[in-house]
Amino acid sequence: MLTCDNYLTAATLDEAFDAMASHAGRCRLVAGATDILPWAREGRAGDVHIPVLIDIASIPELTEVRVEAGRVHMGAATPLQRFLDTPALHDALPCMAHCAVWFADDQIRESATLGGNLVNASPAADATPPMIAHGATLELASKRGETIARRRIPIAQFFTGPGKTQMREDEILVGIECDALPGYGGSFQKVGHRRSLVISVACVAALVSLDASKRYFDDIRLSIGGVGPIPLRLADVEALLRGAPVDTQTIDQAASMSMHLVQSRTRQVYRREVLRGFIARALIEAAREAGAEVEAISEELEASYA
C-alpha cells in the first residue's frame, strides 16, 4: 500500500520546483502514478510511505504536443492514449501507435505518461524502444535561484542501468523531442505472460521506409528492450538492411544478428529465440505497412516466426 501525508498539485514548473525544495528528501514526483502504485503494493515494495507526493500532470508545458518541421515536441506528461487518438501523432510516430495498443488498457493509458515511462528506466519499458528508434532527445529542467535552467540529452545516453538515469534529483523531465517519420511503416513486438498489463520479457520497435520500387529497404530503425540492463538501438542490423532487398534471406540474416545481446539473468535461451523472431516479425510488419509487396516477403519465413 502507498500512503502519504501530503498530496500537492503543481500548476506551474515554479510551483513544482518550490515544492521539491521545501520537501527535499521527503517527496516524490508523480504524473499518472501508474508505476508507483503497482511498485508499492504488497509483494513488490511492501507498504511504502512517502511524506509528500507532488503531482505535475497538470502543468501546461508538460502536456503540450506539437508536430512541426519534421520534429515532434511532446510534454513529458503526455498520456500514452494520445498516440492512439491524436491523428497528428499517429501519422508522425508510426511506431508509437503499435506500442500504445500493447500498453495496458484505455483507462490506464489515459493516466500513464510518456515521461513517466521513460524516467522509471525499466529495462523493459514499452515506450523506450520506440523513442530510441525515433531519435528522441529529452529536455530536463532544474531551478537555479529564480531561473529555470534546461539541458538536453539524447535518449540513448539517458539510461545508465535498471532504474537508473542521468537525471539529477533536482531535475524534472519536461519534454521529449523526436523525429517525425510520416510514411514509414512501424511495428512493436512484445511478449509477457499476458497481452497487456504486463512487464515485457522482450520487446522490439521497428521503423521502415522503402525505395520507390517498394522492394528494397531505404531507412531502417530498430531498437530492443527487456533483454539487458538498458534498451539498445541495433545500428549494425540497420546498416545491413539499408539498400538490401526485402526478402527471406535478408530478413533471416538480420533477425539472427542480435541474439548475443541478451544479457538477462534468466530465460536467456528463450529470450534469444524471442528476440530473433520479433526482429523478423517487426521487419515484415513494418515493411508491409510501408508498402512492400506481399510477394516480396517469404510466407514460409513469416510462418516460421509466428
- Round to whole Å and give the CA distance between 193 and 303: 22
Name the average pLDDT for the chain: 89
Looking at 106-183, list the stretches that DSSP marks H as alpha helix, in order from N- to C-terminal side: 106-111, 114-119, 128-133, 155-158
Looking at the chain, list the stretches that DSSP marks H as alpha helix, in order from N- to C-terminal side: 13-22, 36-40, 82-85, 87-92, 94-102, 106-111, 114-119, 128-133, 155-158, 235-241, 248-256, 268-289, 299-304
C-alpha cell of 89? 501523432
In the numeric block, the cell 523478423 is attached to: 280
Residue 252 DSSP SS3: helix
Amino acid identity, position 246: V
Q: How far is CA 83 from CA 89, 98, 171, in A?
A: 6, 9, 26
- Round to whole Å and give the CA distance between 219 and 22: 49
The string of pLDDT tens digits covering residues 82-127 is 999 999 999 999 999 999 988 877 788 888 999 999 999 988 899 9
The string of pLDDT tens digits covering residues 127-150 is 999 999 999 999 999 999 999 999
pLDDT at 166 over 70: yes
User: Which domains, from first to last, does the chain contain?
Assistant: 2-55 (3.30.43), 61-179 (3.30.465.10), 185-304 (3.30.390.50)
Q: For every residue of 9-52, which 3-state class applies, written as one string?
A: ECCCHHHHHHHHHHCCCCEEEECCCCCHHHHHCCCCCCCEECCE
- b or e along 82-105 (b: 16 or more beta carbons within 10 Å of the residue's beta carbon)? bbbebeebbebbbbbbbbbebbbe
Sign of the alpha-carbon dihedral angle for 193, 133, 172, 12: negative
The string of pLDDT tens digits covering residues 3-16 is 889 999 999 999 99
Least confident of 153-167, 194-208, 224-238: 194-208
The string of pLDDT tens digits covering residues 18-68 is 999 999 999 999 998 887 777 776 545 567 889 999 999 999 999 999 999
pTM: 0.91
**Residue 225 per-residue DSSP state:** E
- Nearest to residue 139, comparing CAs of 51, 13, 231? 13
Q: Are 207 and 94 in contact (CB under 8 A)?
A: yes
- Round to whole Å and give the CA distance between 94 and 167: 28
